[in-house]
Amino acid sequence: MAPISTPQTPFGRVLTAMVTPFTADGALDLDGAQRLAAHLVDAGNDGLVLNGTTGESPTTSDAEKDQLVRAVLDAVGDRAHIVAGIGTNDTRHSVELARAAERAGAHGLLAVTPYYNKPPQEGLHRHFTAIADSTGLPVMLYDIPGRSGVPIDTETIVRLAQHPRIVANKDAKGDLGRASWAIARSGLAWYSGDDMLNLPLLAVGAIGFVSVVGHVVTPELRELLDAHLTGDVQKATEIHQKLLPVFTGMFRTQGVITTKAALTLLGLPAGPLRLPLVELSDPETDQLKIDLAAGGVQL
């Protein structure tokens, strides 16, 4: 049975975009994935996003994606919302992945803006609509123009929000003004997809986070969110400021790289990266240790 959700919080409030653990030889580590998922849920996540960019989706096969979803569902699917990343820059392929995720038992879908081919807004509308039409699962859009090259315009978001299964947006656009208008006009459940802007986005109407730093500071993110929800602005701000070194340190380079390094330092499943991603250098690892310690992470 899927965890309880509401129209206001269709996937919970605190989700971590989980890395995909690999074994030393680069194979999928399903046991490690289950242990990491259990750790993250125990820490306070009420949802996990699998097979996103942080999960190295560009270098995992469709079969590996399916195996990962099934393994994590077996481990924590009764305690957390499992959202499967299915976005590609090929609508037909995305639809195939969406249907496979539904067969595997995923509770929802994350659909990123098609990247590299730079479709116009009408193409985006048709792409996301085709995905939403293809299954009975709720869909979270993922707006990240820094990676995709194309933003989802506010008018397009408002149009897409009319679809009964498009219920949320993960916002990594970095534009609080546009976010404010889109939240007000679309009525979508809005999730921060940029950890540095977690608190600012809450202030303009976001309801939660899809986080990378949740791998190491989920309890603090939960505390920040709870403080905001209860109106304790000062406490929420203090937690936000305490976490600034973590937000900075985890994104000094590509987030998967630093996240896997941090998990290894904490003795949690992670494993190597697949090319073209590479491990942190020794000086970079030393800097990450300094950043995490400055934010209160005990290594």
Is residue 171 classed as helix, strand or coil in its secondary structure? strand
Token pair for 246: 């973590």
Q: What is the CB-side half-sphere exposure of residue 176 using CA atoms within 13 A?
A: 10
Which H or E element spans position 228? helix 214-229
Q: What is the pLDDT of residues 69-89, one digit of tens each?
A: 999 999 999 999 999 999 999
Q: Which active-site residues does the annotation give?
A: 142, 170
- Kindly report whether the global pTM for this prediction surpasses the value 0.85: yes
Q: What is the pLDDT along the chain (299 residues), one digit of tens a residue?
A: 667 667 789 999 999 999 999 999 999 999 999 999 999 999 999 999 999 999 999 999 999 999 999 999 999 999 999 999 999 999 999 999 999 999 999 999 999 999 999 999 999 999 999 999 999 999 999 999 999 999 999 999 999 999 999 999 999 999 999 999 999 999 999 999 999 999 999 999 999 999 999 999 999 999 999 999 999 999 999 999 999 999 999 999 999 999 999 999 999 999 999 999 999 999 999 999 999 999 999 98
Amino acid making up residue 60: T
Map out the domains of the chain with their CATH numbers: 14-230 (3.20.20.70)
> DSSP labels for 255-275?
HHHHHHHHHHHTT-S-----T
Find the length of the chain. 299
According to the model, what pLDDT value does residue 6 have?
72
CA angle 77, 82, 86 (to 5 degrees): 140
According to the model, what pLDDT value does residue 291 have?
98
Was 54 annotated as part of a binding site?
A: yes
**Neighbouring C-beta atoms of residue 162, cutoff 10 Å:** 10
